[in-house]
Structure 1
Amino acid sequence: MAGARITVALIHGLALGEEVHKEVTLREPTAGDILDAQEASERLMMVPTGDGGVEPMLVSSPSRSSMEVLRRQIVSVGDISGPLDMKMLRKLDPEDLDLLLATTGNLNAGSINQVQQEVGKRGRDGGGRPDAD
């Protein structure tokens, strides 16, 4: 399923200018998409220490990371090329956002299942390790 793409019809569409775009093409995420999304979701925060002080720490937001991956998976919205920036993603109706998240979840799960099936076909096992299932 490498490189799989899927087209989704939005319920409400994304209004850009005077045009409302209702067709979104999504693709599977790459490792680079995931790494970039994780980095983009990090914020430097001052957190309390055990001795009553504070120290800087990078804190990641799982919801922001999910949105960052989603925006990178968008190949196009109508005739607009992706990835979308967060400003454009925020313009989506919540129902359309839920639809895209559900679709990418299924697309990503399909990729994982495909990889697991391919590994199974190759007869991969724990490589002789006693603790491997």
Structure 2
Amino acid sequence: MVDDSGGVIELHIFQQRFIPFSIFCLSQLETLSVISSKFDIPPEISQLSSILKQLTIVNLPKPQKTLPAELLMLHNLTMLNLSNCGIEKVSDAIANLTRLRIFNLKGNKLFGSLSSSIKQLRALKVIRYKRQFFD
């Protein structure tokens, strides 16, 4: 989707083997979806920290275990959907996402206690998870 000036504000990547690095030069990108793609989340995603508001990463074939540090630098995120990514632990650094309103972790394998840092997310209205194993 593009805005009135022709800038890309929304981009969906589906079943790709790599992510074009030109994406990280999109100066107006607010929404990014990566679905069933076969690449790791590149560190360059942090270049979108001042503009990206909604990020969906779903069905990654290679389990992430923890939230990639680069995602925790995306300070303007209001929505983060990490469904079916093999995540087992939410880092305390989740507290960096102070504007986060919606956090979706459905289909992951979270074990133990959910990070107490989640409580620091004052803007958080919705957290979704299913079939988790918490203490």
TM-score class normalised by the smaller sequence: under 0.3
Provide TM-score, normalisation by structure 2.
0.21
Q: Which has the larger radius of gyration?
A: 1
TM-score (norm 1): 0.21
- The answer to which structure has the higher strand fraction is 1
